[in-house]
């Protein structure tokens, strides 16, 4: 009677870990906790496991025919541009792409990751949603993963994101240098990675300038241009209105410009209020307001993410890479 060969999955079950974790230990890779590695090594010895080609393949990679892309929305053109970049690279690799959106809902994201995995997708580019990411950390143990547009600490995955902190700090510092002290901050949901990072850059600029921050000028929770327009209207009605506005994305920048245009038409002198917006905004070229845009190539973010995914799946690098995409300053109106 033939004796069944011990498999990598047998070791994984005995050690209480994923097959990918066993493969990492067997192949001497980093980023496995010492206690976990010891448990795997004990199971290898107890079961008499002998690494074979299949085990090495998990670590060294293979061509993959299907990948997944999880986006926060399919309505924002910048996110769609990122998706096009991912698709372009994977198409050249002969890899099909499944795309889904989460609407910034971490629970939807968790379900979609599981659904993708059940469909045999083990390579994933994801724009993380919500403020709970344990499910992504667990998924990264069993699939190749790249975090696009937003990086998350504590996840064993590659990432590519814009220079949120540095570019925001520089833009706010420039406003402070020319005399602005009351700079409003318009933020999306506070737990979103990029929004937190841009808020950090805003506060750093104030600290470095030795200028006090009026916390009443900081607003979070805006999802639409209409939300931002209402917030700016309220700020303009304050006893001490802002002299400049930093908007953390294109929709909020559009809302700020819309509110300022309406105020100007109503006879208010808002012509010197300088608006800085993160992301491109084609409509900005048609306004007379001082406008500066912080811009970066969203499609290139997608292309880099896809290349990292291909590289990870092929085993051409082991340690997680963190790629920061430069941000360009575009002065539309001075």
Q: Which of 122-136, 142-156, 218-232 has the highest mean pLDDT?
A: 218-232
pLDDT tens column, 60-119? 444 567 899 999 988 878 889 999 999 999 998 888 899 999 988 889 999 999 999 888
Could you give the domains of the chain?
Answer: 8-60 (1.10.260.40), 66-160+298-324 (3.40.50.2300), 164-295 (3.40.50.2300)
Q: What is the dihedral of CA 137, 138, 140, 143, to 10 degrees?
A: -160
More confident residue, 246 or 157: 246
**Mean per-residue pLDDT, 164-185:** 97
pLDDT, position 73: 86
How do the residues of the chain divide into helix, strand and coil, expressed in percent and rounded to 5? 45, 15, 35
More confident residue, 48 or 80: 80
- Residue 17, pLDDT > 80, answer yes
d(CA 88, CA 191): 30
Task: Using only the alpha carbons of the chain, give its radius of gyration.
Answer: 24
**Mean per-residue pLDDT, 19-27:** 74
Query: pTM for the complete prediction?
Result: 0.77
* Beta-bridge partners for 99: 69
pLDDT, position 63: 53
More confident residue, 72 or 334: 72
pLDDT, position 156: 82
Report which of 1, 18, 309, 330 is spatially closest to residue 160, judged by C-alpha positions.
Answer: 309
Report which of 70, 85, 66, 71 is spatially closest to residue 123, judged by C-alpha positions.
Answer: 66
Q: CB 294: neighbour CB atoms within 10 A?
A: 25
pLDDT tens column, 221-272? 999 999 999 999 999 999 999 999 999 999 999 999 999 999 999 999 999 9
pLDDT, position 302: 96
pLDDT, position 6: 76
Contacts (Cβ under 8 Å, ≥6 apart) of 288? 271, 333
- Average pLDDT across the chain, whole number: 87
**Mean per-residue pLDDT, 9-13:** 84
The first and second tokens of residue 17, run together, are: 């870990």
The first and second tokens of residue 232, run together, are: 């700016």
pLDDT, position 118: 84
pLDDT, position 60: 45
**Mean per-residue pLDDT, 164-181:** 97
d(CA 49, CA 168): 53
pLDDT tier at 51, thresholds 50, 70, 90: low
DSSP H helices, the chain, are 8-15, 19-26, 34-47, 53-60, 77-92, 106-118, 134-139, 164-177, 193-209, 225-236, 250-265, 298-314
d(CA 86, CA 143): 17
pLDDT, position 11: 85
């Amino acid at each position: 009677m033939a004796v069944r060969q011990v498999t990598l999955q047998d070791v994984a079950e005995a050690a209480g870990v994923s097959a990918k974790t066993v493969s990492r230990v067997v192949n001497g890779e980093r980023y496995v906790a010492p206690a976990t590695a010891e448990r795997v090594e004990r199971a290898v010895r107890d079961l008499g496991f002998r690494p074979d080609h299949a085990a090495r393949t998990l670590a060294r990679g293979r061509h993959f025919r299907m990948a997944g892309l999880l986006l926060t929305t399919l309505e924002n053109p910048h996110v769609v541009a990122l998706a096009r970049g991912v698709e372009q690279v994977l198409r050249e690799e002969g890899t099909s792409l499944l795309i889904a959106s989460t609407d910034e809902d971490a629970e939807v994201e968790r379900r979609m990751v599981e659904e993708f995995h059940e469909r045999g997708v083990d390579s994933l580019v994801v724009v993380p949603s919500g403020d709970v990411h344990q499910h992504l950390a667990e998924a990264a143990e069993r699939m190749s993963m790249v975090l696009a547009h937003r990086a998350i600490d504590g996840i064993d995955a590659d990432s590519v994101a814009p220079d949120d902190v540095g570019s925001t700090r520089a833009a706010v510092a420039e406003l402070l240098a020319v005399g602005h002290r009351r700079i409003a901050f318009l933020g999306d949901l506070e737990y979103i990675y990029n929004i937190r990072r841009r808020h950090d850059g805003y506060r750093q600029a104030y600290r470095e300038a030795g200028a006090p921050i009026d916390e009443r000028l900081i607003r979070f929770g805006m999802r639409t241009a209409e939300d931002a327009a209402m917030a700016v209207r309220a700020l303009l009605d304050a006893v001490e209105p802002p002299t400049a506005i930093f908007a953390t994305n294109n929709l909020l920048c559009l809302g700020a410009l819309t509110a300022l245009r309406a105020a100007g038409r109503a006879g208010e002198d808002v012509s010197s209020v300088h608006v800085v917006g993160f992301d491109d905004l084609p409509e900005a070229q048609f306004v007379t307001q001082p406008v500066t845009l912080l811009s970066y190539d969203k499609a290139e973010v997608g292309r880099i993410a896809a290349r990292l995914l291909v590289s990870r799946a092929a085993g051409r690098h082991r340690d997680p890479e963190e790629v920061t995409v430069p941000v360009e300053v575009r002065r539309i109106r001075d």
